[in-house]
Chains A and B, each alone.
Chain A
Amino acid sequence: MAASDAGYTADREIVTTRIFDAPRELVFKAWTEPERLVRWWGPRGFTTPFCEMDVRPGGGFRFGMRSPEGTEHWLQGVYREILEPERLVFTWAWQDAQGKPGHETLLTLNFAEHAGKTKLTLHQAVFETVTARNAHQQGWTSGLDDLADYLAKAKEERV
């Protein structure tokens, strides 16, 4: 299942995989055409009244989301790589109340054909943006497992 893939041991990245019963051209379009994206984007109960995207390398996007309670959330990013219908890479940052972007993460989506369906794998690099990513790639030491255990414990104990 998607959720259980993303454990603390891999806390440099969030990784989620899902198989969709649709051709990958269509799944890809669901990410790259505003009128399709707004139909499903966000957690349950959220709407996306504003959606602007310029899907080309270096092009930007901006989504305005509304929570079920009516709170607005603004999201922005820049497309880095577009390989229709296989791969989509973009940066992502939430905006604060002044419209200033916060911490930036890098999303990599891979769309693979899977027995007539589409297997979508989403990687969200948590610490690195596209520029910093390569520099840190080998940096993840085994000591991190201890930290991961600690985090898991801290979570239970509500430190």
Chain B
Amino acid sequence: MSPDRLSTTFAALSDPTRRAILARLASGETSVTELAEPFEMSLPAVSKHLKVLERAGLISRGREAQWRPCRLDAKPLKEVANWMEQYRRFWNESFDRLDAYLYEVQSAPKKGKKHGRK
């Protein structure tokens, strides 16, 4: 995923209302009116949030003029999950190496051939 796309996804996810909307949509598609119900917020305000989510590719909306059901689009979320997975790997492996490095510098003067602990 390009960094710009990731930034767009994160910008969309950085708002608590939008995250709540996505959480709601995870249990199935629904109308804007239904979506707006749990929030103390006007329909236009909810629509604004939906536009941000739609632009980020996190939701898609039906074509029907009146009833435009919103549904969750999982792809960007999966990309976020993969991105986070990469960081987990980055830190886990870096920490393994840091562990080995610290062992090495602390035993350096002896120049012993002991193997690094795991």
Contacts and interface: CB of A to CB of B under 8 A. Distances in A.
Contact of B4 (A40, A102, A126, A144): A102
Interface residues of A, number: 48
A2 B81 contact: no
Contacts of A139: 15-16, 19
Contact of A36 (B15, B99, B101): B101
B14 A136 contact: yes
B102 A30 contact: yes
Contacts of A3: 88, 92
Contact of B19 (A16, A100, A141, A154): A141
B3 interface: yes
A110 interface: no
Contacts of A22: 102-103, 106
B110 interface: no
Given A154-B77, A155-B78, A43 B89 contact: yes
Contacts of B102: 20-22, 26-27, 30
B37 interface: no
B13 interface: yes
A14 B103 CA distance: 26
Interface in A19-54: 20-22, 26-27, 30, 36, 39-44
B84 A11 contact: yes
4 smallest A-B Cβ distances: which pairs?
A: A102-B3, A139-B16, A143-B23, A150-B26
A146 interface: yes
B98 interface: yes
Contacts of A39: 97, 101
Contact of B16 (A2, A6, A20, A136): A136
Given A2-B95, A140-B16, A159-B74, A14 B87 contact: yes
B78 A144 contact: no
A153 B51 CA distance: 25
A121 to B, nearest CB: 11
B73 to A, nearest CB: 9
A43 B84 CA distance: 14
A8 interface: yes
